[in-house]
Amino acid sequence: MNSTVRSLHRGVIVGALVAGVAGAPPRLLAQAPAPTPTPTLAPTDDPARAQRLAWFKQAKYGMFIHFGLYAVPAGEWKGRAIPGLGEWIMNRAKIPVAEYELLAKQFNPVKFNADEWVQLAQDAGMKYMVITSKHHDGFALFDSKVSTWDIVDATPFKRDLLKELAAACQRKGMPLGFYYSQAQDWHEKGGAGNDWDFGPDQGPDGKELKDYDAYLRGKAEPQVKELLTSYGPVALIWFDTPRMMSKERGQRFVDIVRTLQPKTLIDGRLGVAGDYVSTGDNVIPGTAPADAWEVPATINHTWGFRKDDRDWKSPGDITFKLLDIVSKGGNYLLNVGPMSDGVIPPASQASLREVGRWLKVNGEAVYGAGPSPWGDEAGEPSARGTKDLRGQPLFLSRNEWRATTKPGRIYLTFFQEPRVPFALPPLKNAVKRVYRLADGAPVETKADGERTSLNIARPFLDPMATVVVVEIEGEAVTK
Ligand code: JFZ
């Protein structure tokens, strides 16, 4: 067994619901941001929404990029390691705005190359990209006209990074979306979140203590308009941490998006209904939470670069998580955090490219594929009533194999050599042909009463994961 497969086994008992969190060092766990309210979703019977979502449901796998000034301190402030997520350092170390602003003078990602980033995403087999246009620190990675707190006006770099990335994405046919922190803005006195410079957002009675609407109307709303006007087609806007996002305020953002670019998707963290559900970070649910959903996830334990976090997920782990998510009908949005010079850490690149090589051969089982007709293969909630770290019923995941589907086809992706013979779960359709996806080699089948069993050759063709295609009579599986 190679190391990629072995490291996958760590998560077996822990279960999918807590898989990401369980692996995190305790220092990072301690400061997980407060969970957002239950995600809301636009009605499923809206044909415009269904149309907007068509590409997203095919894409399945995307690259998230968290890049900003926080890549300069990279988890360390005044010689001390600051626990928590790299991009939260201003908040965690309570750095005053005036002091944090000095970081802009050191931000000079001269090795940034938009084409290389897009090429990496393509080599990795990723079908869309989402980058932080402005994170909670309020710093814009684009040339904003409504603020000088941006990459062109405040740094020696002086280039509009988003403009270059948008151009490269258009050249290479890569959909590009923008993360935008609509509520938290630690740089502005009206924005949410900065209680060390500007005091609490709300009093004990919930009364708002800041001129939040002045911030929304003066910065957040105009900046979202800029993003939707000057950067070509925007695949999606990834809003986040919807503090104090009343219906009315959320609707203002919806109106901006729908008016300027009706095809742009809205994620699940605006605060009012978006187009799809975003799960908790790194949370892979046991079963599908909605008709369109996405798992935002880290490749190590932080979003923004930290120099002390080199715990990169292995290619085997990433491949398993991708198939796990796709077999439940979701998308995987996997994050990388570039270093301050603009280079994506080479070790994370290597992991992604390895997955990409596997997808080149086996992508048919992923892109545009529907969920498993069964689901038991993914595991089950603990029969003993055990709860996970979030207080939810502990989901005991199984990770031997996952199923994905297309009309007339079932793809079985094996992460471990199955028992021989491997009995297909109940299926009424006649089985027409069974073969290995990678090389087309036929797989021997045996009718076993109502069930069909497969005799899969050993040793395994690909130790990372081997896909077997089951061609069936008719388009949809009947059980
Ligand atoms: C947020 C940000 O605070 C964080 O810095 C990062 O950008 C991440 C992608 O999103 O953090 C969250 C937001 C929501 C949940 C967890 C972390 N949640 O709903 O569980």
Check residues 446 and 22 and name the one with the higher pLDDT: 446
The mean of the pLDDT values for the chain is 91
By C-alpha distance, which of 140, 179, 177 is closest to 157? Answer: 140
Between the alpha carbon of residue 375 and those of residues 67, 70, 372, the distances in Å are: 37, 41, 6
Report the atom number in ligand 1 closest to the C-alpha of 66: 7
420: closest CA among 449, 405, 400, 399? 400
Q: What is the Å distance from ligand 1's center to 406 Cα?
A: 33
Give the nearest ligand 1 atom to 33 CA: 17
Q: Can you tell me which atom of ligand 1 is nearest the CA of 304?
A: 5
What pTM did the predictor assign?
0.92
Ligand 1 atom at shortest distance from the alpha carbon of 281: 16
Q: Residue 297: which H helix or E strand, with range?
A: strand 293-298
Pocket test for ligand 1, best of 241, 298, 389 (most atoms within 8 A of CB): 241
Which atom of ligand 1 lies nearest, measured to the CA of 32? Answer: 17
Lining ligand 1 with CB less than 6 A are 33, 35-36, 85, 87-88, 240-241, 280-281, 296, 303
Residue of the nearest CA to atom 10 in ligand 1? 240
The predicted model gives 201-218 an average pLDDT of 98
- In tens, the pLDDT along 392-406 reads 888 899 999 999 999
* % of the chain surpassing 70 pLDDT: 91
| Residue 441 near residue 456, CB atoms below 8 Å | no
Name the band, by pLDDT with cuts 50, 70 and 90, for residue 207.
very high
CA-39 nearest atom, ligand 1: 19
297: CA distance to ligand 1 center in Å? Answer: 10
Please give the pLDDT value at position 40.
55
Tell how far the Cα of 282 is from the centroid of ligand 1, in angstroms: 10
Q: Which atom of ligand 1 is nearest to the CA of 278?
A: 19
Condensed to tens digits (0 to 9), the pLDDT of residues 83-106 reads: 999 999 999 999 999 999 999 999
Residue partners of 218: CB distance under 8 A and separation at least 6: 146, 190
Residue ranges of E strands in 99-251: 128-134, 176-180, 236-239
| C-alpha closest to that of 53 among 65, 38, 42 | 42
Q: Which residue out of 134, 303, 390 has the highest number of ligand 1 atoms within 8 Å of its CB and is therefore the one to mutate?
A: 303
Note the pLDDT of residue 15.
Answer: 29
240 alpha carbon – ligand 1 mean position (Å): 7
What are residue 249's phi and psi, to 5 degrees? -65, -45
**CA angle in degrees (0–180, nearest 5) for 267-115-311:** 65
Question: Ligand 1 centre from 443 Cα, in Å?
Answer: 44
Residue 16 DSSP one-character state: G
Give me 209's structure tokens: 């203590």
Model confidence over 172-188: pLDDT tens digits?
Answer: 999 999 999 999 999 99
Distance, CA of 183 to chain centre: 20
**Ligand 1 mean position, distance from CA 33 (Å):** 6
pLDDT band, very low/low/confident/very high, at 420 (cuts 50, 70, 90): confident
Ligand 1 centroid, distance to 341 Cα (angstroms): 25
Q: What is the rounded CA–CA span in Å between residue 189 and residue 417?
A: 58
Lookup: tokens for 75: 């988890």
Confidence label for 282 from pLDDT (cuts 50, 70 and 90): confident
